Amino acid sequence: LAERRMSLELSPAAVADLAARGYDQVYGARPLKRLLQQEIETPLSRLIIQGKAADGQRIVGDLVDGKFVLTAQEKVEV
C-alpha cells in the first residue's frame, strides 16, 4: 500500500468484528491471519485489479448490514 500511496483505515466496529471472528478458544489468534487475507487482502486486490481503487486513495473498512466491506475513498495527499 505504501508504494501506491494508499492508506487503510478500519472503523472501530470493523476492528471489533475482525477481532471477534479472528479469535478461537483453542487456537488463539491463529485464525486471524486467514481472516485478514479473506476480508482485507483479497478484496483489496480485487478493487485494485478492477480499477475501483487507485494510487493515492484511502481504503476504508467498515461493517455494513453486519458484513465487512472495503470502499475506496478520495485521494489522500502524502
64 is a domain residue = yes
The three-state secondary structure class of 70 is strand
Q: Provide the CATH number for the domain around residue 42.
A: 1.10.8.60
Instruction: Output the pLDDT for position 1.
Output: 86
Q: 72, 42 in Cβ contact below 8 A?
A: no
Q: pLDDT band for 76, please (50, 70, 90 cuts).
A: low
1 is a domain residue = no
Q: 10, 70 in Cβ contact below 8 A?
A: no
Name the domain count of the chain. 1
pTM, entire model: 0.82
40 is a domain residue = yes
Write out the residue range of the structural domain in which residue 16 sits. Answer: 7-75
Residue 45 pLDDT > 70: yes
Instruction: Output the pLDDT for position 77.
Output: 60
